[in-house]
Structure 1
Amino acid sequence: MNQGPNRFLDEFAKLMTDAAGVAQGARREVETAFRAQAERFLSDMDIVKREDFDVARDMAVRALDRVEALEARVAELEARLAETAAKPARKTRTADE
């Protein structure tokens, strides 16, 4: 008789362990199905991946830096041109003079 309650508890513990294993497997299966559905949904929405977004952002930043540098260069050249145009033209001496 002494074996009865311990055996019952052992069987119950084994049953709970098996149930936990089944639940863990079901959880993994649900996660996999959810992840696949989410990826399918996002691909249908034409949402870009993070890596692609980061690459495009870096390209845009470099392009903006280049545009700013070119704008500064154009402003400098325009200032030089205006300065040159404002100076009176020098007469060049010819051999006859």
Structure 2
Amino acid sequence: MINPAKLEEIAKQISGNMPQGLKNIAESFETKTKQVLQNKLSEMDFVSREEFDIQSKVLIRTREKLLELEAKVAELEAKLQTPQQ
């Protein structure tokens, strides 16, 4: 779900761009930044790409089945409306 390597990269970029005088607290800042990012991202309701793709395929199959059923219902209704001989 949440890529720890990406969070690590973001935290390092933030701490790497700090002025030279603040480098002594960069490690603490990096750790805190990662913690805050992880906490905020975990509060969000994300799904993985794999889950999204699976659900998209299920939705496509469901729509196809719905179209088939609608066509069958229309065919049956048409048969019921035509007079029997």
Structure 1-normalised TM-score?
Answer: 0.47
1:74 aligns with 2:69: no
Which entry has the higher C-alpha Rg, 1 or 2? 1
Q: Residue deviations 1:13-44, cap 9 Å, x none?
A: xxxxxxxxxxxxxx7x8269677764543221
For the residues of structure 1 that align with 2:60 and 2:72, how far apart are their CA atoms?
A: 18
What's the CA shift string for 1:26-77, capped at 9, x where partnerless?
x7x8269677764543221011111111111110110000000000011011
Separation of aligned partners in 1, 2:61 and 2:81: 30
Q: Which has the higher contact order (CA 8 A, sep 6+)?
A: 2
Change (3 A) 1:51 1:82: same
Q: Aligned partners of 2:57 and 2:65: how far apart in 1?
A: 12
Contiguous gaps of at least 5 residues in structure 2: 1-8, 14-29
Query: Cα RMSD (Å) of the superposition?
Result: 2.9
Letter in 1 for 2:42: S
Q: Which runs of 4 or more aligned residues in structure 1 lie more than 6 Å from their structure 2 counterparts after TM superposition? A: none
Gaps of 5+ in 1: 1-26, 89-97
The count of corresponding residues between Structure 1 and Structure 2 is 60
CA–CA distance in 1 between the matches of 2:55 and 2:70?
22
